[in-house]
Amino acid sequence: MGKVMFGLSVSLDGFIADKNDDVSEVFAWMGSAMEQFHEIAGDSLNETGAVIMGHRSFNQIDGEQGWIMPDGTRLPWPVIVLQSQARDPVKKSHTHYHFVTDGIESAIAKARELAGEKHVALHGASSVQQALKAGLLDEFHMSVAHVLLGEGVRLFDHLGSEPVRLEHIRTLETPGATHLSFRVVK
């Protein structure tokens, strides 16, 4: 069984998007570090088996062609969307979307079923926060962009008052970002 993990870019002051949901500043480092991308992210296209995201993230990536990165890369994974309203699964081009209304535990169970032996990736602040709070996150990789946004969508909000203990795995420096990896101590 794969790990439950995330890999996201974040500003030094903890935001994954600015107040207008723009992520360009936290991903600006990619333009000068693409030759190191495999070293930074590993083989995530082949190691990931399913992705969980909140409805807000889904609204940002949803399109008739499925989930496509800005560079045109088609992301091959099934997507489990956490939301409050029930909805039937839907396929858009190559992307299969499944909608879960009964919480992060149920979403992770569905994602593990779909992922098989591969990893389950979390996308967006809400799914990360819910998995951390529920004690279901195994590992994470953050690319800390060399920028302060001041406000926006905070990655580590709503975690409760109990500390989350982490074990440092590695640190990698590239132009424009510092890449940190941690294992969640359980």
Predicted confidence (pLDDT) at residue 9 exceeds the cutoff of 90: yes
pLDDT-based confidence at residue 1 (cuts at 50, 70, 90): confident
DSSP state of 75: P
Spatial separation of the C-alpha atoms in residues 129 and 100, rounded to whole Å: 16
Q: Over the stretch 38-87, which tens digit does the pLDDT of each residue have?
A: 666 666 767 899 999 998 888 887 777 777 776 677 778 899 999 998 89
Q: Give the pLDDT mean for 4-22.
A: 95
Residue-level pLDDT at 62: 77
Residue bearing the bigger pLDDT, 5 or 32: 5
Q: Give the pLDDT mean for 140-154.
A: 96
Tell me the HSE value of 89 on the side-chain side, using a 13 A CA sphere.
9
Residue-level pLDDT at 36: 63
pLDDT, averaged across the chain: 89
Spatial separation of the C-alpha atoms in residues 173 and 169, rounded to whole Å: 14
| Distance, CA of 130 to chain centre | 12
Q: Let me know if 120 is exposed, middle or buried by CB neighbors in 10 A (0-12, 13-18, 19+).
A: buried
Spatial separation of the C-alpha atoms in residues 5 and 173, rounded to whole Å: 21
What CATH number does residue 16 fall under?
3.40.430.10
Residue bearing the bigger pLDDT, 76 or 124: 124
pLDDT-based confidence at residue 118 (cuts at 50, 70, 90): very high
pLDDT-based confidence at residue 29 (cuts at 50, 70, 90): confident
What percent of the chain is modeled with pLDDT above 90?
A: 64
Q: Give the pLDDT mean for 20-40.
A: 78
Q: Which domain holds residue 148?
A: 4-184
User: What's the total number of domains in the chain?
Assistant: 1
